[in-house]
Amino acid sequence: MTAVSFLAFLGVFLAIGISSARRAEGTRKDYYLASQSVPPALVGLSAVATNNSGYMFIGVIGYTYATGLPAIWLMLGWILGDFLASMFIHHKIAMATSKTGTLSFSGLLSTWHGTNFALFCRVGAIVSIMFLGAYSAAQLAAGGKALHVLFGWPEATGAIIGSVIVLVYCIAGGIRASIWTDAAQSIVMLFAMALLFITGIQGLGGLEGTWAKMEAVPGFTNWFPPDLLLPGFSGMLLFVVGWMFAGFSVVGQPHIMVRFMALDNPKNIVRARAYYYGFFTIFYFFANGVGMMSRIYLPHLSSLDPELALPTIALELLPPLAVGMILAGIFAATMSTADSLILSCSAALTHDLFPKVFKSTKMVKIGTLAVTLLALAIALNQTQSVFSLVILSWSVMASAFAPLLLVYALRGHPNEFLSLSMMIAGVATALIWRQFGLQEAIYEGMPGILAGLAVFVIGEPIRRAVTVTSLTPQEETVREQSSD
């Protein structure tokens, strides 16, 4: 019955995505941005579903299973940082997209002020393909884990099936197929997670019984996260600030920001954000609760794979119909996010790196096929957990693009050399931070973003001084008059 329910719900999600083909216009803009016609409700629900995906269903619940109550500080920091960034960046992204007419995230940043930073665009595209490819591989791996729990299939089989589904989405309707599927599975998964949360608490004797059992697990209900860089409250505060940078990093993720780029009208950004944060907060609460309860119901997973907590506890507590719904939701979410990531990689490949080669929509889809095969190859050979692989890719993308976006939002005008230097410094710092294992104490995106901003703070006065000394007297007069 569980398998039948899974296939039925998955079929519904697939049908929703494929049906988007009826709205396809056959243009590159429609393929990558849905012709900038997406209403705010769909933008908000799709953005939060893409943000959550396999990371939330598999990674965060597995992390909460292993960590316990301190995982709430990750949630608090993440949502707060995400919200602060959205207050002054999301609207500007929507406005800049309408103004520049670009189809890719790197292309948007390279033409933000009407200039054309061609080298920056190409380097940004290469970074996107490398790390969004790894990110999409993590989504395929997460889908493989879900099918492994349900059917006992090898995880590689699930990853292969997922890559085929991703191609179906892409061929059917591009980004619109992903957005429609995201919205549907968001609603279904919120209901399913609430049901699982309530059922789990009832099975443990209510809130008091649940808390008593959690307290019996050593360190599980401590307020402070483990392995802090500093002891006590100072260390916890630094931990939260680090994860605020992780939330802030959302603005550096092309597969999420493309939703806001596809918004039908920049004036609707407030409504889109209301859907986004309302759903995000409620769902994250249920995810943390389910992760903690999983430790009580499934203590044996601590020596196996905590990232199997959600599908396994669903099998333990819920009837077959609900289990199939949850597993179909997990699988559809990971696949639609993988689809978004692969489309962002495809945009970088076809729009930013080789626009003359990939002119037609048919050639664009061939580019998407190549990126999908790359992601599948990584998924079949990767050894890191979904959580680790996602955080690595997330932090690198944030370090590459978030500093420049922040500077743009504050009306900065760095030239191409300075913009490129900011990106390189951010990425290098994040990778070095992880190489030394410091990400256990502080999320590596924090020093990466700060490094990029530091390059701007140091480099911008130098750039201005060099620019002034190189001006002719006539140009200096014009510059002074324009300043006045």
In single-letter form, the type of residue at position 180 comes to W
Query: 362: exposed, middle or buried (C-beta count within 10 Å: 0-12, 13-18, 19+)?
Result: exposed
The pLDDT of residue 478 is 46
Q: Is the separation of the CB atoms in 378 and 134 below 8 Å?
A: yes
**Total domains present in the chain:** 1
Q: Could you tell me if residue 481 is inside a domain?
A: no
Angle at alpha carbon of residue 310, lines to 249 and 19, rounded to 5° = 70
Q: Could you tell me if residue 158 is inside a domain?
A: yes
pLDDT band for 41, please (50, 70, 90 cuts).
very high
Q: Could you tell me if residue 226 is inside a domain?
A: yes
| Residue located via tokens 């609207």 | 91
Provide the domain limits for residue 201. 2-388
Whether the per-residue pLDDT at 409 is higher than 50: the answer is: yes
Cα 368 to Cα 329: distance, rounded to the nearest angstrom: 24
Whether the per-residue pLDDT at 461 is higher than 50: the answer is: yes
Q: Could you tell me if residue 469 is inside a domain?
A: no
Q: Could you tell me if residue 6 is inside a domain?
A: yes
38 — phi, psi (to 5°)?
-85, 125
| Residue located via tokens 């933008």 | 43
Residues with Cβ within 8 Å of residue 478, at least 6 apart in sequence: none
Q: Could you tell me if residue 399 is inside a domain?
A: no
Tokens of 300: 């044996």
Comparison of pLDDT for 45 and 470, the residue scoring more: 45
When pLDDT is averaged across residues 159-166 and rounded to a whole number, the result is 84
When pLDDT is averaged across residues 4-26 and rounded to a whole number, the result is 84
Tokens of 470: 């190189």
Number of neighbours of residue 190 by Cβ within 10 angstroms:
17
Q: Please name which of 482, 483, 388 lies closest in space to residue 444, comparing C-alpha atoms.
A: 388
pLDDT in tens, 263-279: 999 999 999 999 999 99
Query: 315: exposed, middle or buried (C-beta count within 10 Å: 0-12, 13-18, 19+)?
Result: middle
Whether the per-residue pLDDT at 484 is higher than 50: the answer is: no
Tokens of 143: 């889908």
Q: Could you tell me if residue 442 is inside a domain?
A: no
Q: Could you tell me if residue 202 is inside a domain?
A: yes
Per-residue CA distances from 319 to 62, 196, 289, 474 (Å): 22, 10, 20, 79
Q: Is the separation of the CB atoms in 393 and 439 below 8 Å?
A: no
pLDDT in tens, 365-377: 888 888 888 888 8
Q: Domain of 270: which CATH number?
A: 1.20.1730.10
Cα 328 to Cα 216: distance, rounded to the nearest angstrom: 33
Cα 259 to Cα 138: distance, rounded to the nearest angstrom: 21
When pLDDT is averaged across residues 318-324 and rounded to a whole number, the result is 83
Cα 296 to Cα 179: distance, rounded to the nearest angstrom: 36
Residues with Cβ within 8 Å of residue 52, at least 6 apart in sequence: 280, 283, 287, 333
Instruction: Give the length of the chain.
Output: 484
Cα 413 to Cα 312: distance, rounded to the nearest angstrom: 51
